[in-house]
Amino acid sequence: MAVRKFNYEHDGVHYYRFSIYRLGNNVQTVYTFIVDDLLIDTAQKYSRENILKVAKDKHISKIALTHHHEDHTGNVAFLMKELNVEAYGHPTVVKILSKGYKMSPLAKLMNGTVEKAIVKPLLSTDILQTANYTLQPIYTPGHSEDHYCYYEKNKGWLFSGDLYVADKIKYFATYESLFTQIDSLKKLTALDFDILFCSHNPKVKDGKKHLQNKLQFFEDFAGEVTQYYQQGHNARQIFALMGMKENYFNKYITLGNFSAENMVHSVIKDLKKK
């Protein structure tokens, strides 16, 4: 296994790409962001030495988390201890990290484990203040129930965690809700910003347009599934009717946790609740 780090800077925001390679293939990439002395997310455990060096070089004095997933929190406990700093996140991330959470064998293999951490709760009415910037947490569930984006209104920056990732996506995890993500995306597209500091795919230009593209894609997708479902088709049939393709390697290696069909299931699950 090899871990590679790349660093970037845009308009005063320093950001770092941490990629894990196995057998020459990039199997996981995540970005962390630094605004003054604030670190947003902490990368995978396997990037520990690199993130520590970055955090020390940049004199990090506090950490904000977008959500609890292992590629974002893999070093939070470690950095809090090494740097003697506090970390902040949604009250649910606080709860999850205080108890620790069960990871799949594949997630452990890809990213390493996540140690328990005592993180401080941040309410959506709170703000994160640094020397030059003010970040507002925006509650944006759907990818995970504890998901915050961080918005710097004056600069037009949105640190969007895992809510964007791409204009169109092909897979969903079993725990994700497509309709809830639509609500969160609507909340975000109502904000004024241009730069999308996405944790897997940052867009330093036309960030809002990319987020609007994602919203449109989800609305179209949900609309199509709803129509077929109301005509009496089941998930399997809808999947075929929509011409969707499964990546069976991904599906089976994750024991069904990640699949294209999960996107259809998510819509139907929420339709049944309505």
User: In whole angstroms, how close is the CB of 88 to Fe ion at the nearest point?
Assistant: 18
Q: Do 263 and 179 touch, CB atoms closer than 8 A?
A: no
Characterize the bridge pairing of strands 157-161 and 195-198. parallel
What would the two tokens of residue 178 be?
């497509």
Terminal-to-terminal C-alpha distance of the chain: 46
- Name the residue nearer to Fe ion (CB basis): 150 or 228: 150
- Name the residue nearer to Fe ion (CB basis): 152 or 162: 162
Please report, as ranges, the residues that interact with Fe ion according to CB under 5 A. 69, 162
User: In whole angstroms, how close is the CB of 144 to Fe ion at the nearest point?
Assistant: 6
- Name the residue nearer to Fe ion (CB basis): 65 or 225: 65
Long-range contacts of 53-57 (CB under 8 A, 24+ apart): 54/5, 54/7, 54/16, 55/79, 55/82, 55/83, 56/83
Q: Do 262 and 172 touch, CB atoms closer than 8 A?
A: yes
Compute and round to an integer the Cα radius of gyration of the chain: 19
Number of neighbouring beta carbons within 10 Å of residue 255? 11
Characterize the bridge pairing of strands 2-10 and 13-22. antiparallel
- Name the residue nearer to Fe ion (CB basis): 110 or 238: 110
User: In whole angstroms, how close is the CB of 237 to Fe ion at the nearest point?
Assistant: 30
Longest dimension (CA), the chain: 59
User: In whole angstroms, how close is the CB of 67 to Fe ion at the nearest point?
Assistant: 6
Q: Do 194 and 205 touch, CB atoms closer than 8 A?
A: yes
User: In whole angstroms, how close is the CB of 91 to Fe ion at the nearest point?
Assistant: 18
- Name the residue nearer to Fe ion (CB basis): 62 or 69: 69
User: In whole angstroms, how close is the CB of 12 to Fe ion at the nearest point?
Assistant: 26
- Name the residue nearer to Fe ion (CB basis): 38 or 198: 198
